[in-house]
Structure 1
């Protein structure tokens, strides 16, 4: 079953979103490590949408599909078209040395999730992450 959450793209809403996610993961007896990886991914992706997708206020639709063996989360926004998965792999040491930090969060997401998929259709960004829970 897919549950849809519509929430203002405001960084103040990240804790609320993670609380909703954690409640659903705990109902499925999600392993702690997988839950933490999903929390970090959701915080990173939602935060990026809040900071960069819209010039002013906007909304994010989050579709959650959580079963005992898998979690799939799709973030949908009508902000500026942007595929974060296309960011080149960064040299973590070089990024840490530079004054401009950025790009590390999506690396963590890509490495901790089992699948990440982006598409732009009907004037909307769709970023879907999938994590096996077993």
Structure 2
């Protein structure tokens, strides 16, 4: 059986099925022998990014998801047709104060930046393209 190194799907912007996305990614990651902890990192990142697009973005077309497995990393891209917005320009939230003293917002993007090894944004008119990647630890013999 030849397992594709690429996973592509689309989610409706108005009610994205993140649970279905994670279920599909679980199958894709398992087919590549990737650790469950890596799936959990990507599931959290997709949940944050896609939820933000659905809740705050102005996208009209489906949100496109691409995931590629390479020899040393898993790379993902989320593409939407909303107004230009680079979430990486947001200031990191205050994570030292008590919960009741913190400003609302920004924690999801902060977590994605902390969990992933690389995160990048690019505007390719008329699309927002957010990419993130995590290196795969070499298997121990």
Whose relative contact order is higher, 1 or 2, with alpha carbons under 8 Å and at least 6 apart?
1
- State the secondary structure of the residue aligned to 1:82: coil
Gap regions ≥5 residues in structure 1:
none
Larger radius of gyration between Structure 1 and Structure 2:
2
Return the TM-score normalized by structure 1: 0.87
- 2:93, 2:105 within 8 Å by CA — same for their partners in 1? no
Instruction: Return the alpha-carbon distance in structure 1 between the equivalents of residues 93 and 45 of structure 2.
Output: 18
Instruction: Return the alpha-carbon distance in structure 2 between the equivalents of residues 10 and 133 of structure 1.
Output: 33
After the TM superposition, which of the residue ranges 38-47 and 90-99 deviates more from structure 2? 90-99
Q: Are 2:37 and 1:40 equivalent residues in the alignment?
A: no
Structure with the higher fraction of residues in helix conformation: 1
Return the TM-score normalized by structure 2: 0.83
How much is the aligned-residue C-alpha RMSD, in angstroms? 2.0
Gap regions ≥5 residues in structure 2:
none
Q: Deviations over 1:56-86 (max 9, x none)?
A: x431111111245321110111012111111
Q: Deviations over 1:10-67 (max 9, x none)?
A: 3441111111112111111212222211110111111111111127x43111111124
